Amino acid sequence: MKILMFIYCMHCGGAERTTASLANEWVARGADVTVVSIESTDVDFYPLHPAVRRIALNAASVSPGALAALGANFERVRALREVLRELKPDVVLGIMTVASVLAILATRGLPCKVIATEHTHPPMLPLSRTWQQLRRWTFRSADLVVALTGDSKHWLEKNCECTDVCVIPPPFTLPIPRLEPTLMPDAVVGRDRRVLLAVGRLSEEKGFHNLIDAFSSIVSTVSAWDLVIVGEGDERPALQKQIDDADLRDRIHLPGRAGNIADWYERADLYVLSSRFEGFPMALTEAMASGIAAVSYDCDCGPRDIIRHGENGLLVKEVGDTRMLAEALQRLMLSDVERLRLATRAAGLRESFSLDKAISLWRDAFVAAGVEETRRVGA
């Protein structure tokens, strides 16, 4: 099978990581895979199998106005269409909204199938009115649309009038690959400390300001614990000021981005997700599959697909409520028995969200999109 995956860039991010994981696995299983990006390869973060063909359109730009933006996207569609005519893939996967819209437009009249994908919960993704309309207009003509959760599936069916939508959670593999940069836990916290771990981009939607407030309110009752937020982003100055104002620089750490996140999962005693919304929280899945008990806001969307409250983790119903989050964290920090019970059951996610299961679901998706039929007629 010839698969072409089209994405804006291959920088550090959940959709980019999923793209690399799927591309590498499909190639290993004998498929012909190409990853095409709008942006250059200079920002590539996740390693690709040597057999994965990598093409960059080098067409990323900031347009000064609507007319310029229209022209830039016309050129992107034209450039992608040239690649499609040359490679003749059986199926094109658009990765995220913009790439999916452009992929659907570029494949018009060509014999290949096209699958659009969403990697966050659509109503939570800030899009201009133009792109919202384009998604609504184009997604219904895709051969298939793939969402990460049932909530996103229902939204797409209702708001984009898509009739063919399936759910495929992002895959993960154990052991988790170790990448650069390396940031060892012992360089941040002492071995005698217990670690409450959060992982993610330091941005507003991750709700780390609420997490810091919640931890600050119980810090005196959990004296053996430190909070570590691994990640980088624009909110660093504001979060660091919040920590400094609370005089908790020795108890709350922002060490930066870590490519060796598996070492942090191994070191952590409890994981927390404080996001206002998610597409599908891969870090939460990985942490739990690594055998860590977890607490998460019951945000849209993803955590409720992963955590069964009271069985393999705790869900905090009121998103943004720091008191409820603090109570849930304190409950597990002060109970080794309950924390171990939840951690043991959390490890069962290794099978639920395994790469093998994701590949099987994608195989079904290709059949549903008619890819096998296209291959038989020689496209």
- The pLDDT tens digits of the residues spanning 241-268 come to 999 999 999 999 999 999 999 999 999 9
Pairing of strands 91-94, 53-56: unpaired
Q: What is the pLDDT of residues 86-122, one digit of tens each?
A: 999 999 999 999 999 999 999 999 999 999 999 988 9
Mean pLDDT, residues 178-190 taken together? 94
Regarding beta strands 32-37 and 2-7, do their DSSP bridges make them parallel or antiparallel, or are they unpaired? Answer: parallel
d(CA 298, CA 300): 7
Chain centroid to Cα 326, Å, comes to: 25
Tell me if the bond preceding 175 is cis, omega within 30° of 0: yes
Residue 312 scores a pLDDT above 50? yes
pLDDT at residue 124 tops 80: yes
pLDDT in tens, 25-79: 999 999 999 999 999 999 898 899 999 999 999 998 777 767 778 888 999 999 9
What span, in angstroms and rounded, lies between the C-alpha atoms of 53 and 51? 6
Residue 18: what are its φ and ψ, rounded to 5°? -60, -40
Q: Tell me how far CA of residue 251 lies from CA of 22, 209, 232, 354, in angstroms.
A: 38, 15, 18, 35
Positive or negative torsion for Cα 160, 161, 166, 167 = positive
Query: Using an 8 Å Cβ cutoff, are 28 and 49 in contact?
Result: yes
177: pLDDT confidence band, cut at 50, 70 and 90?
confident
Mean per-residue pLDDT, 123-137: 89
CB atoms within 10 A of CB 34: 20
Look at residue 180 in the predicted model and tell me its pLDDT: 87
Q: How confident is the model at residue 374 (pLDDT cuts 50, 70, 90)?
A: low
Rounded to whole angstroms, the Cα distance separating 51 from 25 reads 11
Instruction: Dig out the tokens for 10 from the structure.
Output: 């291959």
pLDDT of residue 378: 41
Closest CA to 6 of 14, 308, 323, 15: 15
pLDDT of residue 257: 93
Task: Report whether pLDDT(13) > 70.
Answer: yes
Taking alpha carbons only, the member of 206, 200, 264, 273 closest to residue 231 is 200
Residue 130 has pLDDT above 50, yes or no: yes
Q: Read off the pLDDT band of 377 (50, 70, 90).
A: very low
Distance set, CA 51 to CA 25, 29, 31 (Å)? 11, 11, 10
Per-residue 3-state assignment (H helix, E strand, C coil) for 244-281: HHCCCCCCEEEEECCCCHHHHHHHCCEEEECCCECCCC
Confidence at 373, pLDDT banded by 50, 70, 90? low
Least confident of 252-256, 312-316, 352-356: 352-356
Q: Is the CB of residue 199 less than 8 Å from the CB of residue 184?
A: no
Residue 300 has pLDDT above 90, yes or no: no
On average, the pLDDT of the chain sits at 93
Integer Cα distance of 63 and 69 in angstroms = 5
- Confidence band, pLDDT 50/70/90 cuts, at residue 188: very high
Q: Which domains are seen in the chain, by residue range?
A: 2-171+354-376 (3.40.50.2000), 185-352 (3.40.50.2000)
What does the pLDDT average to over 143-154?
94
Q: What local confidence, expressed as pLDDT, does residue 375 receive? A: 59
pLDDT: which is higher, 63 or 176:
176
